Amino acid sequence: MKRPRNPDTQPIASNRKAFHDFEVLERLEAGVVLQGTEVKSARLRQVTLTGGHVRIQRGEAWLCGVRIAGYDHGNQFNHEPDRQRRLLLHKKEIHRLMGLMTQKAYTVVPLKAYFRQRRLKLELGLCRGKQMADKRQALRRSDDERDARRAMKRFR
């Protein structure tokens, strides 16, 4: 019997375009520093991860390009939707990511956003950009898998 899903860990946003544009080599989890109305907007699933990336400046990790829409009832205390947000990572993780990003030209991209224990968490992916041929090959592979599943259903 399936356990009921905990609404506190369900994804509120995902970045499906990242899987098309990048090859995900490694995944890690990070917390996000938010202002007051950003939490309420995130609970309403008004988060867009597409086009987001992580930048490391002065030993701190910053989330750029992610939009958390303004809260409808936020009045003058509403936040700026496109601001940079600080990520909560261990110093060792930041230094390791910084080394990989500078030496091997990897990119760190947000893949999924979800709440865990009342805090917004991001699943980050250490990624390498795909070439056009890689994208075609991935599409061909997914088409073949889909066709194989359809064929298996017919023979049942």
CATH of domain 11-130: 2.40.280.10
Note whether 122 and 65 are within 8 A (CB).
Answer: no
Q: Which residues contact 9 (CB under 8 A, 6 or more apart)?
A: 114, 115, 116
Per the confidence metrics, is the pTM higher than 0.95? no
The CA-based angle 39-112-78, given to 5 degrees, is: 20
Secondary structure of residue 93 in the 3-state scheme: helix
pLDDT in single tens digits along all 156 residues of the chain: 455 556 556 789 999 898 888 889 999 999 999 988 888 888 999 999 998 999 999 999 999 999 998 888 877 778 888 889 999 999 999 999 999 988 888 999 999 999 998 899 999 999 988 787 777 888 888 899 999 988 888 776
Beta carbons within 8 Å of 117's beta carbon, 6+ residues apart: 8
Q: What is the pLDDT of residue 21?
A: 86
Supply the pLDDT for residue 132: 76
Question: Which residue, among 136, 104, 111, has the nearest Cα to 53 in the 3D structure?
Answer: 111
Predicted confidence at residue 124, as pLDDT, reads 95
Q: Who contacts 59 (Cβ-Cβ below 8 Å, separation ≥6)? A: 91, 94
